[in-house]
Amino acid sequence: MAVQQHKFLLDESEMPTRWYNIIPDLPDPPPPPLHPATREPVGPDDLAPLFPAELITQEVSGERYIDIPEEVQEVYRLWRPSPLFRALRLERALGTPARIYYKYEGVSPAGSHKPNTAVPQAFYNARAGVRKLTTETGAGQWGTAPAFACALFGLECEVWQVGASYDSKPGRKTLIETFGGTIHRSPSRLTAAGRAFPEDHTGSLGIAISEAVEVAAGSDDTKYALGSVLNHVLLHQTVIGEEALAQLRLAGEDSVDLIVGCTGGGSNFGGLSFPFIREKLAGRMSPVIRAVEPASCPSLTRGEYRYDFGDTAGMTPLLKMHTLGHDFVPDPIHAGGLRYHGMAPLLSHIYELGLMEAIAIDQTECFAAAVQFARTEGIVPAPEPTHALAAAIREAVACKASGEEKVIVTALCGHGMLDLAAYDSYLRGDMVDSGLSDEALAAALADVPVVA
Amino acid sequence: MAVQQHKFLLDESEMPTRWYNIIPDLPDPPPPPLHPATREPVGPDDLAPLFPAELITQEVSGERYIDIPEEVQEVYRLWRPSPLFRALRLERALGTPARIYYKYEGVSPAGSHKPNTAVPQAFYNARAGVRKLTTETGAGQWGTAPAFACALFGLECEVWQVGASYDSKPGRKTLIETFGGTIHRSPSRLTAAGRAFPEDHTGSLGIAISEAVEVAAGSDDTKYALGSVLNHVLLHQTVIGEEALAQLRLAGEDSVDLIVGCTGGGSNFGGLSFPFIREKLAGRMSPVIRAVEPASCPSLTRGEYRYDFGDTAGMTPLLKMHTLGHDFVPDPIHAGGLRYHGMAPLLSHIYELGLMEAIAIDQTECFAAAVQFARTEGIVPAPEPTHALAAAIREAVACKASGEEKVIVTALCGHGMLDLAAYDSYLRGDMVDSGLSDEALAAALADVPVVA
C-alpha cells in the first residue's frame, strides 16, 4: 500500500505576509454603508468613535494587498500556518473518488479562525492608544478571540454574549475569563440597548452588538471589535485561503472543483474563498464557490438584498446586504455563530455578482455528517462548519454516483470541544430541524428601513 | 528584530517507525509482576484473558526497538508528528534566559497523548479477532482514546469512568459517545467490583479498573485496555520523546538540561523521557529527568516501593511499584488523570535506579502557571500538565536569578477544553490545596500485601 499523506504543512517562513483585498478585483465596488440619519455614505469620521484609523483605512482600501505587521505575524506564528488535511479516511468511508481537503482553523488559541482578525484588531487599537475593546459573541468562538488578543497587547476586553449561548455554554465564559476578558450575558442591564429586552430573553447577535457598540461609543478610550461582516474582518481572514492555495500545490492539486464553507456573518467563508475567487477571476482555475447556511437562518438563500442595520437597536450604519431583518431572532439552534440576521456586505455583493452560490442545510443532516467525520478523521467539528461538511459529503456522494474525481476544499473553521451539548442532543435524538416559516420571515423583513 | 521560530514541525515521512523499549538499556531489569495467589512471576498465559498475544509479547520484550505496524502509522498520521513549540512569549513574560520547549499532544483526536497507545492496542486486538474492549478512565482523557481507536478498527468500546469525573465533566461522556463508545459511571451496578461500593461513591481509578477487568475476564471475545502503568503502554508513548529529539535538533539544540513532565500512571512521562534517558545512558547528553506529581497523590515522593495491586479489588497481578496503597482514594482534585494510587513499575524501577527525580506540587500553583501560560502561549492546558508547567516555570525563574541559559523541555500532554470547570474554580478563588496527611497515607498503606 502506498503511503498517502494526510497533512500538508507550511513552515512559518511560508506564512502569508500580506492580506488579500478582493475589492479592486471585482467588476464593481460594493455599495457603501449609509449613515442611518442622513442616508449618505458614511465617512471615516462617522466610524472613528468605534474603530482606530488604521482599521477604517483598511475598511475602505482600494489596495489589492495589505502588509501584515510583524507584531501580528509574530502572534500568528503561535498557530499559523494552520494545517490543510486530506480527509483520506472520510473519503474511504464514503467510497467516493472525490478528494476532500479541509483547512483546519481549530488549532488557534480560540479554537477557531477568529483570532486571525482579533489579533490585528487588538494590535491596531493598542497602537492607537485605546485602553479597552468591547465586543459581542454568539456561540463564544468570537468573544474568546479578542479576549486572547487583548491579553497579548495589554488591552482590557469586555464581551456581551448572546443569552442562549451564555446559558448553555459555561465553558466559553470560563475560557474568556482564563484569557483575562470580562463577559456579560446579553441582554444585560448595563446598556439601554440591553434594558429594552427582558433580562431572561434568549438574546441575539443583533442585540449583543448594540450593547457593545453603545459602551464603546460612550467612552473615549474604548473602541469596538466586530468578528465578522465588515470588509477589514474578511480581509484579515484571507490568510486562510492564501495558505490553502499553497498547501494544495504541495498536495499536487493545480485546480479545485469546489470551495465550500459555512456562512454566518461571512468571515470564515470570505477568508477561505476570496483568494480562490481571485484565481477564478484571473482564469487560473474555475472552482464552484458554495456557501452553506443553516435552514433556520438563511440570509443568502431567503433573505432580501437591501440596506439594513447591522444590529438590532439600529445604532450601526445601514449596510447593503442579504438580510432577514435586523430584529429577526433566529431559533436557538446549536450553531450559534451562524445566528446572524445579515450577511457581510462584501459577500452579499459577490453573491449578487454571480461569483458564488448558496444553499441551506438543516442541522440534523449537519450533525450526522459531523459524527461520521469525527469517527473517521478524529476531529469533532464546531457546529458551524458541520454545515460545510454536510455539503462536502453531499458532493462527494454525488461523485461516487458520477465517478467524477472532483477536488473539494472546505474550511473546518473550529473544533467542537465546547459544543458537546449539541452532540449530546443529536446522539440522543432530541435535535429537531426548526426551519423558518414564510410568515416569520415576512414579519421580520417588515421592519427593514426603506432606502431609496 | 530577528524572526524567532515558534513551532518545530516534522513531515509525516519523518514520523518514528519504531517504538523504543528502554528495558534492554537499563543496568537491571524491572522486577516481574507476580500472580496474586501464587506470588510467582506471571506468565503469558496469566495475561491472555486480558490482552492479545502481541501486546503480551511487547510487555515482556527484550528488543530495543519494535516496529510500528503500517496500519498504526497510518492512523498516527492523522495528527502525528505532533508539534514542538518554543514558549517564546512565556519566556519573555518570565524574563528568563532559559529556553522552554513544549511537546504538544493536544492535537490528537482525544486531545491528549493517549491515542498513541489506544490505536495500537485497538489494532492488535482487532487483528486477534477481539470484538470489544473494556477500559476505565479518570478525567476522561484515556477513555476518549480507545473510543476513537475502536471506531477505526471496528471494535466496540465500553468505558467505566471515575464517578467524580463523570459527574463533573459531562463533555467527556458525550465525546466518548460521539466516537461511538459506551460509558458508565464507576462504581457501577454492572460488576461485583462496582457493587462493593455505594452507587454515589466518588470512585477511583482503582475501582474503575476492577470493573473493566472483571467484564473483560468474564468474556471470551472481550479484552481489556489500560491507558498507563504497563510496559507496552509506555513503549507506545515513546513516539513523543523520539519526535521531540528530532525537533530539538531542528531547533538547533544539541543538548537539554531538564526534561520535566507530569506523572499519574507514568505513560506521558515515560513517553517523553525514555528516549532522553537513552541518550543520557549513552553519554550523548545529560539532562536532569524530573517527574512532577500532585501533592495530593504523591506516589513517587511519598509512596512506598513494594508489590501492590494495580486495582482496588485486587484482581490484577501484583506490581512492584511506588504505591500509596491500592485502596487509597485521593481527594477529587481536578487533575483526574493523576489520581492513581500507583506508578508504572518500569518508571518506579528507573526512579529507584537513580536515573530520574520527582517532586510534588500543589494544584493552585499549577493553575497559576496554567493561566500565565494560556495568556502568553494561547493554549489552555489540561490540569495534568499544569504540574509540569509549574515545575518548568520554577526552573525558568531560577535561571533568571542565576543567569543560566538552560534548555527546558516539557510535555504539554493535553488541552483543557473539557476541564474549564477547574479553571473556573481557580479564577473564582475556590480552589484549595488539600495535600495528604501522614495519617491518611499510613492508613492507606496498611492494606498493601506483604510480599517476601
Q: What is the ipTM of this complex?
A: 0.96
Q: CB-CB: which of B5, B12, B178 is closest to A423?
A: B178
Cα nearest neighbour of A144 on chain B = B378
Cα nearest neighbour of B371 on chain A = A178
- Say which residues have a Cβ less than 8 Å from residue A293's Cβ, sequence separation at least 6: A262, A263, A264, A299, A300, A301, A338, A358, A359, A360, A361, A387
Cell of B144: 476518549
- Measured distance CA(A306)–CA(A322) in Å, rounded: 6
- Measured distance CA(B227)–CA(B435) in Å, rounded: 25
Query: Apex CA B343: angle with CA B134 and CA B125, to 5°?
Result: 25
In this model, does residue B452 exceed pLDDT 80? no
Do residues A358 and A391 lie in contact, with contact meaning Cβ atoms separated by under 8 Å? no
Q: CB-CB: which of B79, B175, B378 is closest to A148?
A: B378
Q: Taking chain A, what is the end-to-end CA distance rounded to the nearest angstrom? A: 65
A192 touches chain B (CB under 8 A): no
Mean pLDDT for chain B?
A: 95
B250 touches chain A (CB under 8 A): no
B418 touches chain A (CB under 8 A): yes
Query: Apex CA A296: angle with CA A295 and CA A301, to 5°?
Result: 50
A334 touches chain B (CB under 8 A): no
Cell of B95: 524574563
Inter-CA distances, A445 with A34, A328, A332, A341, B426, Å: 19, 8, 19, 10, 46
- Say which residues have a Cβ less than 8 Å from residue B17's Cβ, sequence separation at least 6: B67, B68, B73
Q: What is the mean pLDDT of residues B232-243?
A: 98
A78 touches chain B (CB under 8 A): yes
Cell 492607537: give the residue: A128
Q: Is A417 in Cβ contact with B171 (below 8 Å)?
A: yes
Q: Which pLDDT belongs to residue A231? A: 97
Min distance A93 CA to chain B CA atoms (Å): 10
Residue A210: name the closest of A53, A326, A304, A348 by CA.
A326
Chain B residues whose CB is inside 8 A of the A145 CB are: none
Count of CA atoms in the C-beta half-sphere (13 A) of A319:
26
Cell 507584531: give the residue: A71
Pairing label, strands A99-104, A407-412: parallel
Which of A15, A116, A148, A417 to mutate to test binding with chain B, by most B CBs within 10 Å of its CB?
A417
Q: Is A177 in Cβ contact with B1 (below 8 Å)?
A: no
- Measured distance CA(A292)–CA(A273) in Å, rounded: 13
Q: CB-CB: which of A70, A152, A379 is closest to B1?
A: A70
DSSP designation for A423: H
Min distance B175 CA to chain A CA atoms (Å): 7
- Measured distance CA(A412)–CA(A396) in Å, rounded: 16
Q: Which pLDDT belongs to residue B204? A: 83
Q: How confident is the model at residue B2 (pLDDT cuts 50, 70, 90)?
A: low
Cell of B164: 467524580
Number of H helices, E strands in chain A: 18, 15
Chain A residues whose CB is inside 8 A of the B89 CB are: 78, 152
Q: Is B174 in Cβ contact with A420 (below 8 Å)?
A: yes
Do residues B238 and B20 lie in contact, with contact meaning Cβ atoms separated by under 8 Å? yes
Looking at residue A403, its amino acid is: G
In this model, does residue B244 exceed pLDDT 80? yes
Q: Which pLDDT belongs to residue B143? A: 96
Min distance A387 CA to chain B CA atoms (Å): 17
Inter-CA distances, B445 with B207, B329, B333, Å: 17, 12, 20
Q: CB-CB: which of A13, A74, A178 is closest to B374?
A: A178
Cα nearest neighbour of A8 on chain B = B11
Q: CB-CB: which of A9, A115, A179 is closest to B374?
A: A179
A70 touches chain B (CB under 8 A): yes
B423 touches chain A (CB under 8 A): yes
Min distance A374 CA to chain B CA atoms (Å): 6
Q: What is the mean pLDDT of residues B111-122?
A: 98
Inter-CA distances, A36 with A110, A306, A314, Å: 34, 14, 8
Q: What is the mean pLDDT of residues A293-318?
A: 92
% residues pLDDT > 70 (chain B):
98
% residues pLDDT > 90 (chain B):
87
Cell of B393: 516555570
Pairing label, strands B304-309, B318-323: antiparallel
Q: How confident is the model at residue A1 (pLDDT cuts 50, 70, 90)?
A: very low
A187: preceding bond cis by omega (within 30 degrees): yes
B62-110 tens-digit pLDDT: 999 999 999 999 999 999 999 999 999 999 999 999 999 999 999 999 9
Pairing label, strands B18-20, B65-67: antiparallel
Please tell me which residue, B338 or B22, carries the higher pLDDT value: B22
Chain A residues whose CB is inside 8 A of the B415 CB are: 417
Which of B6, B169, B172 to mutate to test binding with chain A, by most A CBs within 10 Å of its CB?
B6
A323-382 tens-digit pLDDT: 999 988 777 667 766 778 899 999 999 999 999 999 999 999 999 999 999 999 999 999
- Measured distance CA(B272)–CA(B152) in Å, rounded: 26
Please tell me which residue, A370 or B338, carries the higher pLDDT value: A370
B272-282 tens-digit pLDDT: 999 999 999 99
The DSSP bridge partners found for residue A186 are A162
Q: Which pLDDT belongs to residue B206? A: 83
The DSSP bridge partners found for residue B318 are B34, B309
Q: CB-CB: which of A175, A380, A427 is closest to B380?
A: A175
Cell of B343: 506508578
B182 touches chain A (CB under 8 A): no
State the virtual CA torsion across A357, A358, A359, A360 in degrees, nearest 10: 180
Number of Cβ within 10 Å of residue A32's Cβ equals 16
Chain A residues whose CB is inside 8 A of the B380 CB are: 175, 178
DSSP designation for A12: G
B430 touches chain A (CB under 8 A): no
State the virtual CA torsion across B418, B419, B425, B426 in degrees, nearest 10: -130
Q: Is B424 in Cβ contact with A177 (below 8 Å)?
A: yes
B151 touches chain A (CB under 8 A): yes
Min distance A434 CA to chain B CA atoms (Å): 23
Q: How confident is the model at residue B1 (pLDDT cuts 50, 70, 90)?
A: very low
Q: Is A9 in Cβ contact with B11 (below 8 Å)?
A: yes
Q: Is B170 in Cβ contact with A78 (below 8 Å)?
A: no
Looking at residue A53, its amino acid is: A
B10 touches chain A (CB under 8 A): no
Min distance A180 CA to chain B CA atoms (Å): 7
Mean pLDDT for chain A?
A: 95
A424 touches chain B (CB under 8 A): yes
Min distance B100 CA to chain A CA atoms (Å): 14
State the virtual CA torsion across A271, B417, A171, A433 in degrees, nearest 10: 60
Inter-CA distances, B288 with B358, B407, B408, Å: 10, 11, 10
In degrees rounded to 5, what are phi and psi of residue A25? Answer: -90, -5
- Say which residues have a Cβ less than 8 Å from residue B417's Cβ, sequence separation at least 6: A111, A171, A175, A415, A417, A418, B111, B380
C-alpha of B155 from chain center:
23
Which of A8, A11, A78, A119 to mutate to test binding with chain B, by most B CBs within 10 Å of its CB?
A78
In this model, does residue A430 exceed pLDDT 90? yes
Cα nearest neighbour of B9 on chain A = A11
Looking at residue B301, its amino acid is: T
Min distance B377 CA to chain A CA atoms (Å): 7
DSSP structure string for B45-106: HHHTTTS-HHHHHHHT---SEEEPPHHHHHHHTTTPSPPEEE-HHHHHHHT-SSEEEEEE-T
Chain A residues whose CB is inside 8 A of the B79 CB are: 378
Q: What is the mean pLDDT of residues A62-75?
A: 98
Do residues A114 and A36 lie in contact, with contact meaning Cβ atoms separated by under 8 Å? no
Interface of A with B in 340-379 (CB under 8 A): 371, 374-379
Please tell me which residue, B452 or A363, carries the higher pLDDT value: A363
Q: Which pLDDT belongs to residue A138? A: 85
Min distance B370 CA to chain A CA atoms (Å): 9
- What is the dihedral sign for C-alpha B66, B67, B71, B75? positive
- Exposed / middle / buried, residue B450 (Cβ in 10 Å: 0-12, 13-18, 19+): exposed
H/E element, B149? helix B141-153
Min distance A10 CA to chain B CA atoms (Å): 9
Beta strands in B187-325 (DSSP E): 222-224, 258-262, 288-294, 304-309, 318-323
Q: Is B420 in Cβ contact with A175 (below 8 Å)?
A: yes
CB pairs under 8 A between A and B: 127
- Measured distance CA(B49)–CA(B57) in Å, rounded: 14
- Measured distance CA(A259)–CA(A101) in Å, rounded: 10
Looking at residue B88, its amino acid is: L
Q: How confident is the model at residue B157 (pLDDT cuts 50, 70, 90)?
A: very high
Inter-CA distances, A99 with A285, A409, B89, B95, Å: 16, 8, 38, 48
